[in-house]
Structure 1
């Protein structure tokens, strides 16, 4: 199984370090005037935290991809107990995230993010087989196969 690596985060860190090293070299060798020393003093405290935040975000995304690849699929006979959606976005763009809550055989409820097509086709009180992946703090909805209704 191919695992994903956080090349984006590594490239960001190396780029920032290279820029910082070049600026430091130019200042030390006298290629720039004293104004660049002030720039460098401001540059370091601002860019390093931003780089760390970007690296952590990319690392989390990479961890989620690796978890999805490596976790085994699990199945359970479940019932749909709730459907919900949340509008997310900013001032200029919005989107909707869809969630379905399933009740497991032991009474535990699990909430999964699903795509719109699955949200539209699965109804509350449906009973069937839930296929999902879970572990390492991640939960992934794979599929839900509805049992045929006895009334039909």
Structure 2
């Protein structure tokens, strides 16, 4: 956000420079190329920002908690699903159509990975996934792995 604000502030400063200076042409109608350049740059910044927000790799920051039919009914699974949402895993990972698409779909992760593999992946992270070894307690790790292991 600061990059965009700094760019827009620089463009406004360049556009206002002739109005502050006592030399040269000050009328905007006499500087059509300068006005056009500023309008094009502002348009590009705006359009690239809109395109960036629509990209699938962007985490879903407003992802709702998982539905009850998705989570299951045992306490371990419910705690794991709540932690999956609280730790923001759902921002990047999708389960049964809910969540982001930046990370792999975890709807059937229990069929692909064993519990030990899930523990290793959560603790060590992956390409764009941060490691959670120092973030989750042992109980929290068991809860999340218990929840993900039911996803078959």
Give the alignment's TM-score, normalised by structure 1: 0.36
- Give the number of the structure whose residues are more often helix, by fraction: 2
Give the alignment's TM-score, normalised by structure 2: 0.36
